[in-house]
Amino acid sequence: MKKLLLIALLALPFAGSAQAPALIPQPVQLQPGKGTFAITPSTVIVARDVEDGRVAGMLSDYVKDRYGLALAIVRQDRADNAIRFNTRRFMKAPDKDAYYLQVAANGIAIEGDTYAGTFYGLQTLLQLLPPAAFTKPASVSDTLKAKVKPGKSKVKTQARPVPPAVTITRVVVPQLLIQDYPRFKYRGMHLDVSRHFFPVSFVKKYIDYLAAHKLNYFHWHLSDDQGWRIEIKKFPELVNTGSWRHGTIVGRYPGTGSDNRRYGGYYTQDEIREVVQYAAGRHISVIPEIDVPGHSSAAIASYPYLSCFPEEPTVIPSWPSEGSRRAQAAGRPKQVQETFGVFNDIMCAGKDSTFLFMEGVIDELVALFPEKYVHMGGDEAPKSNWKRCPHCQARMKAEGLKDEHELQSYFMRRLEKHINARGRTMMGWDEILEGGLAPNAVVMSWQGERGGIEAAKQQHYAVMTPGKPLYFDHSQTRTDDSLVWGGFNPLDSVYAYEPIPAVLDSAAARYIVGAQANLWTEYVSNPAKVEYMIFPRMSALSEVLWSPKEARNWPSFRNRLLTQFGRYAQWGASYSKAFYDLRG
Ligand code: TNX
């Protein structure tokens, strides 16, 4: 990489003073040049193998959609008037995701150390291309078509751009040289599809957003009290019963009313495979989460034997709902929750049938998700049922466990054993530290940084995802402009976030693999609001996770964000402009 860089530097007459393009995240090294390169109908894209050909195809599709310009993809290398993709494994790059991008007078070269690097080089190139001259906005956008329920969201949608009616014959790119690689190995975003369900088409769009920000982990929260969202062939009731609820609270607090409609959805196994493959094509690993033993009302509604007390009714909300009326009329004691919060009815750790169930679920997860991590939740599991459950108490006695926290630790360890035996690694929220960490588990630290710090000290890998400032369900405006959960997480706090806590020495700091922002969707009921909550905070996150620490510069980011707003608009995405109100 270094040698190549030197040769390239000598070959290019750099001015140094030219204005740097507004890239997000900021690359490690950017040397602006003089002059431009114009992509014209005679420009070709060179890709010498199949995988580089896929990236070349993405570029040619993009250029066709935005500018109406059809570029040929060729295998034969060519120096002039070409955009060349080349993955070379012998670069000795500082990171496997490294790439180098040169725009010179005669063409563009993108070289990655791995295919991921080449893909990231493409993402940077796309940011260098000028905004397309769209002819007219589409009258009805996909996001507008998405139902926005009254009282839930005041989010305005952007008009979706349409391809130009005329071909633009010169797409001008500034000359420059970039050498780039990420600071952190784990760069994640989460999406809760349980509280509200989002169709595959939008999940793919969400994955596109991650890719454009050079993020590489998509944490898919597939189950919770309010809905089970993944088909498990061995347990069909999960999607027949667990994926549906009647009514959802429509105000801020329980008791403010229900919309009383049947609500839900799930992904078939074919759809799951489609999403995983789509993400893999964008160098994104999908981490499935099945949240247990708490947050599992939807599973319990499907198979009441999973509860310590199968006959006891689910806590009925303090207001009458269509769902609870129907459950009672059908003689069903359990129901999928219609309110949000934490529920006492958790999975029983005393009965072997619970573990048989979970092992069956894990086996299907492992078959569907080829990547390393399987997330088993572990958060917010009240122990009141376990305290009065004879099976749980017998288990504690037999295993010599001194309290219910140790019983939870036993529960998680037993799942981990099954996961590890299938060659995978278990992840969990920081509560899995209580009562003793499972031997190989990776911790997601959400209750501040405490959990991550503790995990790192115990030489366990950890991902930082502290509620402040990385919960994107929290408000980014001083005054709520739509219904949100849990306080104020403005853009500048996200931008200022430092994933490595100062209290860790360098040996322990190595265990902090990166960070992630979470989007819980209690009050996010449609795709437009998802976009509104993540943008522009996700752009700030990408710079925290990718760019060198020293490169972080808030005024510069704010300036570049104006260009980024144009990109959101190009994507047809909603976003918040709240940062104009911020200090500094
Ligand atoms: C806590 S974070 C939860 C979620 C909620 C979220 C709301 C975590 C592991 N559990 O169930 O959706 O707060 O911000």
- The SS3 call for residue 435 is coil
- The SS3 call for residue 307 is strand
Measured distance CA(209)–CA(543) in Å, rounded: 14
**Catalytic annotation present for 505:** no
Measured distance CA(346)–CA(337) in Å, rounded: 12
Where, residue-wise, is CATH 3.20.20.80 in the chain? 186-581
Classify burial at 81, counting beta carbons within 10 Å of its beta carbon; exposed 0-12, middle 13-18, buried 19 or more: middle
The average confidence (pLDDT) of the chain is 89
Residue 471 in contact with ligand 1 by CB distance below 6 A? yes
Q: Are 181 and 97 a contacting pair, CB within 8 Å?
A: yes
Nearest CA to ligand 1 atom 12: 520
Given the residues 380, 406, 454, 492, select the one marked as catalytic.
380
Q: Is the pLDDT of residue 147 over 80?
A: no
Q: Are 367 and 424 a contacting pair, CB within 8 Å?
A: no
Residue 434 in contact with ligand 1 by CB distance below 6 A? no
Partners of 289 in the β-ladder: 221, 375
Residue 99 in contact with ligand 1 by CB distance below 6 A? no
- The SS3 call for residue 468 is helix
For a substitution probing ligand 1, which of 195, 379, 474, 522 has the most ligand atoms within 8 Å of its CB? 379
| More confident call, 297 vs 248 | 297
Nearest CA to ligand 1 atom 5: 520
pLDDT at 162: 62
Give the pair of three-digit tokens for residue 355: 């573990």
Atom of ligand 1 nearest to the CA of 474: 14
Atom of ligand 1 nearest to the CA of 447: 2
Given the residues 295, 375, 460, 474, select the one marked as catalytic.
295
**Catalytic annotation present for 399:** no
Task: Please state the rounded mean pLDDT for residues 31-39.
Answer: 95
Lowest mean pLDDT among 101-110, 220-229, 483-492: 483-492
Residue 429 in contact with ligand 1 by CB distance below 6 A? yes
Q: Give the number of other CB atoms < 10 A from CB of residue 54.
A: 15
Measured distance CA(288)–CA(215) in Å, rounded: 16
Lowest mean pLDDT among 285-289, 344-348, 474-478: 474-478
Task: Please state the rounded mean pLDDT for residues 556-580.
Answer: 91
Where, residue-wise, is CATH 3.30.379.10 in the chain? 2-180
| Cα 204 to Cα 278, 282, 471, distances in angstroms | 7, 10, 21
Given the residues 224, 259, 522, 531, select the one marked as catalytic.
224
- The pLDDT tens digits of the residues spanning 66-99 come to 898 999 999 998 889 999 999 987 667 788 999 9
Q: Does domain 2-180 have CATH number 3.40.630.30?
A: no
Task: Please state the rounded mean pLDDT for residues 172-189.
Answer: 97
Q: Tell me how far the alpha carbon of residue 522 lies from the centroid of ligand 1, in angstroms.
A: 9
Give the pair of three-digit tokens for residue 560: 């570049």
Residue 473 in contact with ligand 1 by CB distance below 6 A? yes
- The pLDDT tens digits of the residues spanning 498-524 come to 999 999 999 999 999 999 999 999 999
Which fold, 186-581? Answer: TIM Barrel (3.20.20)
pLDDT-derived band at 140 (thresholds 50, 70, 90) equals very low
| Cα 108 to Cα 54, 75, 132, 170, distances in angstroms | 17, 16, 19, 15
Ramachandran category for residue 68: left, alpha or beta (phi over 0 → left; psi -120 to 50 → alpha): left
pLDDT at 5: 39
What's the ipTM?
A: 0.94
Measured distance CA(166)–CA(183) in Å, rounded: 41
Q: pTM, whole model, 2 decimals? A: 0.92
What is the percentage of the chain residues whose pLDDT exceeds 70?
87
Q: Is the pLDDT of residue 8 over 60?
A: no
Q: Tell me how far the alpha carbon of residue 449 lies from the centroid of ligand 1, in angstroms.
A: 15
- The SS3 call for residue 428 is strand
Report which residue type is found at 531: E
**Catalytic annotation present for 224:** yes
- The pLDDT tens digits of the residues spanning 273-284 come to 999 999 999 999
Indicate the length of the chain as a whole number.
584
